[in-house]
Amino acid sequence: MINLLHTRLEQSFEEMVKIRRYLHQHPEVSFKETKTAAFIADFYRTLDIEVETNIGGNGVIARVYGAKPGKTVALRADFDALPIQDLKDVPYKSTVPGVMHACGHDRHTATLLLLAKVINELRENLEGTYVFIHQHAEEYSPGGAKPMIEAGCLDGVDVIFGTHLWVTVPTGTLQYALGPIMAAADRFTITIQGKGGHGAKPHETKDAVVAGAQLVTTLQQIVSRRVNPIDPAVVTIGSFVADNTFNVIADTATLIGTVRTFNDETRNFIEAEIERIVKGTCLSIDCTYEYLFEQGYPAVVPNNEVTNFLLKSTESIKEVEILHEGDPDMGGEDYAYYLQKVKGTFFFTGAMPETTGETIYGHHHPMFDFNEKAMLIAAKTLGTAAITYHQNS
């Protein structure tokens, strides 16, 4: 059965590429993916596959039932794009100004659609139920996973498998982690209220820019001096905005940043530590402040047993050349919520372009692209794990 699955997926590869390129040309940003959701639903309807729409927003769920009883396995792909201008010179370049699939959710969707199609073709010889979760709004917190779960997308599910096609990992490599694989992703905003004035009379002011500048430096000491060195963490200031006239001392300054961690204790400690430093800095300059810390997605923590099961199941996949236990990535993913609800795993499918001496553009870059062969590898890996899980239950 696994060999037949692989053969059918190989035969479906051209259709997979065609769908991916269509989606790449017609991207939609988070929470506005109505046409993409309709495209996904219509694909399933033409195959007479059971499909539900508007799950927790724009989410779509399809189900394929094997002829024999068994467990329920879920597979997930996201389908939102980013507000980035596509700068690639390719025939399938985005046709929507300022919007592109710069992270690869178009390929995740195409992979899952064709995998579902093949599993549906084989259903008379399969056990259990296969749930195909097409999730909206991964890129923008609070994300689509949580409302889809609240709407019941995981009801009755025994295990879930998910992957992210990863352009910085060589094609043919599957990268996994025994422990957290992606970080909790939080956002904070600090607004400093000083007293503005003339640039020539600083003694009459309370300089919000000076306070902000001190914070940019001092906040870096949280990770370097307050967090255990073997506990990965990141504190980044991504935006610093104040009055922009050369001869004016700013009345206010706003700093926006992100915190990345892998455990809740460190996450909560950094949240409190930022405010302690902000409070002390503003007190020394006689400014006031407002501080908002927004917890985003939690860390993605796969189940080690399920991860090892998936790795074992790849032995039959000829395109999987290397299984690599990589370092956790500090990026965030709301797939974390699925893993908090049911056991499962998440891994990176290598999708590095086959180029020689050319720059590899990473995720969220306007020149981002990938090796489309990785979709076939991802489909084979997810499909093999799902079918094998039923056979071993």
Binding-site members for Mn(2+) are 103, 105, 139, 164, 364
Cβ atoms of 346 and 333 closer than 8 Å: yes
SS (H, E, C) 326-371: CCCECCCCCCHHHHHHCCEEEEEEECCCCCCCCCCCCCCCCCCCCC
Q: Distance between CA atoms of 129 and 117, rounded to whole angstroms? A: 14
Strand partners, 291: 190
Q: Is 325 noted as a catalytic residue in this protein?
A: no
What do you get for the CA distance between the two ends of the chain, in Å? 16
For residue 112, which of 156, 162, 150, 73 has the smallest C-alpha distance?
162
Catalytic residue among 80, 106, 127, 158: 80
Take residue 30 and report the two structure tokens written for it. Answer: 């988070």
Q: Is 251 noted as a catalytic residue in this protein?
A: no
* Phi and psi based region of residue 385 (left: phi greater than 0; alpha: psi -120 to 50; beta: remaining): alpha
Which residues line the annotated binding site?
103, 105, 139, 164, 364
Cβ atoms of 115 and 383 closer than 8 Å: yes
CB neighbourhood size of 315 (10 A): 9
For residue 306, which of 133, 149, 111, 160 has the smallest C-alpha distance?
160
Catalytic residue among 28, 86, 127, 138: 138
φ, ψ of residue 20 in degrees (nearest 5) = -60, -45
Q: Tell me which residues are annotated as active site.
A: 80, 138
